[in-house]
């Protein structure tokens, strides 16, 4: 039995992050300011996107995307059922209708054939999710976009560092939203970013993230001289702070090394779990870089324990796991409002019942991983 509880997706916070946060606290500028601007430049450069704006969360970025792209009542947006509910919630908040699309078996990614079949004259947009860090087929997605004149909002919460045929996710000219929530590949505790190839979209996101003001605090209160702001459209309060950006500035330079470590752990899980009554994730497609955000197994339907029993048994052995996700269609709000039944989205339903995310973070040691494998081998004897 382990001495300590193995936290699923525990973040790496080092002395550099701590020093950078302290530097912000001591500087007197703790709100949105120069560090947010520096983090935006650094991220834009990393992703190779033309424009980047940081906000308070990925959810905020998704909500602002809907607003800025003019998606509203009467519009339909294609959203995978197999995602975190924030994706669908953003569409609901806009007053538009999320049309849930099933997954491809194995990868769990949105089924682009099913998405195309669900297009109606009201369909304005598609919100693909690079699920677990695995990039969706950007060639097929963009062909679908162009054929049907769809807007694309990529939910890239899992996909910072992912690449499709040599290009980073976020660099395809669509709007894409990243998350820096605690468990994600890098963290600012809470935080998100929107990237786009469109200067106007970026400028409008910046205004709407701060009440709709024409000038940010940095322009209003710095030594550049007093200026009045004006409001053209009522906005929200979704700005990122310099204290958060301080963390991001020290995390992002380590991301590639962390993804390599995640990949090592991933391949070791593949080897060590072979033969157990569960399926391991399919390997990344050729010519892509998987961001290795989640390592998900699917528990065999005839295994000795159900997925939920397994979660409990692992917790009792001090091993934390995650469930990503129970599909959007299974949550009462969406189930009832859109009269959805589990069999309407059979692949997403099967994943919902069987999926289990094992501890995966650069903080996980080989010894931690051995504990996870040993527990699984004992709980699921072949
Ligand atoms: C984490 C996550 C979000 C929300 O991110 P926040 O930064 O917590 O708002 C959205 N979509 C997916 C797929 C996520 O995993």
Residue 146 has pLDDT above 90, yes or no: yes
Residues in the chain: 382
Whole-angstrom distance, CA of residue 124 vs CA of residue 76: 6
Catalytic (active site) residue 184: yes
Q: Are 187 and 255 in contact (CB under 8 A)?
A: no
Evaluate: CB of 109 within 6 angstroms of ligand 1: no
CATH topology of domain 15-254: 3.40.640
**Ligand 1 centroid – CA 155 distance (Å):** 8
For every residue of 79-127, DSSP letters joined together read EESSS-HHHHHHHHHTT-EEEEEPBPTTT--B-HHHHHHT--TTEEEE-
Q: What is the pLDDT of residues 304-358, one digit of tens each?
A: 999 999 999 999 999 999 999 999 999 999 999 999 999 999 999 999 999 999 9
DSSP assignment, residue 132?
G
Whole-angstrom distance, CA of residue 188 vs CA of residue 198: 25
Whole-angstrom distance, CA of residue 285 vs CA of residue 254: 24
The number of the ligand 1 atom at minimal distance from the alpha carbon of 158 is 15
Residue limits of CATH 3.90.1150.10 in the chain: 255-379
Give the right CATH number for 255-379 from 3.40.50.720, 3.90.25.10, 3.90.1150.10, 1.10.10.60.
3.90.1150.10
**Ligand 1 centroid – CA 157 distance (Å):** 5
DSSP assignment, residue 295?
E
Protein residue whose Cα sits closest to atom 8 of ligand 1: 181
Evaluate: CB of 324 within 6 angstroms of ligand 1: no
The Cα-based distances of 2 to 5, 315, 318, 320, 354 in angstroms read: 7, 11, 6, 12, 25
Q: Number of C-alpha atoms within 13 angstroms, CB side, residue 96?
A: 28
**Ligand 1 centroid – CA 347 distance (Å):** 21
Evaluate: CB of 59 within 6 angstroms of ligand 1: yes
Evaluate: CB of 188 within 6 angstroms of ligand 1: no
pLDDT at 217: 66
Evaluate: CB of 325 within 6 angstroms of ligand 1: no
The Cα-based distances of 8 to 1, 62, 135, 364 in angstroms read: 17, 25, 22, 9
Q: Would you tell me how many other CB atoms lie within 10 Å of the CB of residue 341?
A: 10
pTM of the predicted protein model: 0.97
Q: What is the pLDDT of residues 279-294, one digit of tens each?
A: 999 999 999 999 999 9
Rounded to 5°, the CA angle 5-11-15 comes to 110
Residue 270 has pLDDT above 90, yes or no: yes
Q: How confident is the model at residue 76 (pLDDT cuts 50, 70, 90)?
A: very high
């Amino acid at each position: 039995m382990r001495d300590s509880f193995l936290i699923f997706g525990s973040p790496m916070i080092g002395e550099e992050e701590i020093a950078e946060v302290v530097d912000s606290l001591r500087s007197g500028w703790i709100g949105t300011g120069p560090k947010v601007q520096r983090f935006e430049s650094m991220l834009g450069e990393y992703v190779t996107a033309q424009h980047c704006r940081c906000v308070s969360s990925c959810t905020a970025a998704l909500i602002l995307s809907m607003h800025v792209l003019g998606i509203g009542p009467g519009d339909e947006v294609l959203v995978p059922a197999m995602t975190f509910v924030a994706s669908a919630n953003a569409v609901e908040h806009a007053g538009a209708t999320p049309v849930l699309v099933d997954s491809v078996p194995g990868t769990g990614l949105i089924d682009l054939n099913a998405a195309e079949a669900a297009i109606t004259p009201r369909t304005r947009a598609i919100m693909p999710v690079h699920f677990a860090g695995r990039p969706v087929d950007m060639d097929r997605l963009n062909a679908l976009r162009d054929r049907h004149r769809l807007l694309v909002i990529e939910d890239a919460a899992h996909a910072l560092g992912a690449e499709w045929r040599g290009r980073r996710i976020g660099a395809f000219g669509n709007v894409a939203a990243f998350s820096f929530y605690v468990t994600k590949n890098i963290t600012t505790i809470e935080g998100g970013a929107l990237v786009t190839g469109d200067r106007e979209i970026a400028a409008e996101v910046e205004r709407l993230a701060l009440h709709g003001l024409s000038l940010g605090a940095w322009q209003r209160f710095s030594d550049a001289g007093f200026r009045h702001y004006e409001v053209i459209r009522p906005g929200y309060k979704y700005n990122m702070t310099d204290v958060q950006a301080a963390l991001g500035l020290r995390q992002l330079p380590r991301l590639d090394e962390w993804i390599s470590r995640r990949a090592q752990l991933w391949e070791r899980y593949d080897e060590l779990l072979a033969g157990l009554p569960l399926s391991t994730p399919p390997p990344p497609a050729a010519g892509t870089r998987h961001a290795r955000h989640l390592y998900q197994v699917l528990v065999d339907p005839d295994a000795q324990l159900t997925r939920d029993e397994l979660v409990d048994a692992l917790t009792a052995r001090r091993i934390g796991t995650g469930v990503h996700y129970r599909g959007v269609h299974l949550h009462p709000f969406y189930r009832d409002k859109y009269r959805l039944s589990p069999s309407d989205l059979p692949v997403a339903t099967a994943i919902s019942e069987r999926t289990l995310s094992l501890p995966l973070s650069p903080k996980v040691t080989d010894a931690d991983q051995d504990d996870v494998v040993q527990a699984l081998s004992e709980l699921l004897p072949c």
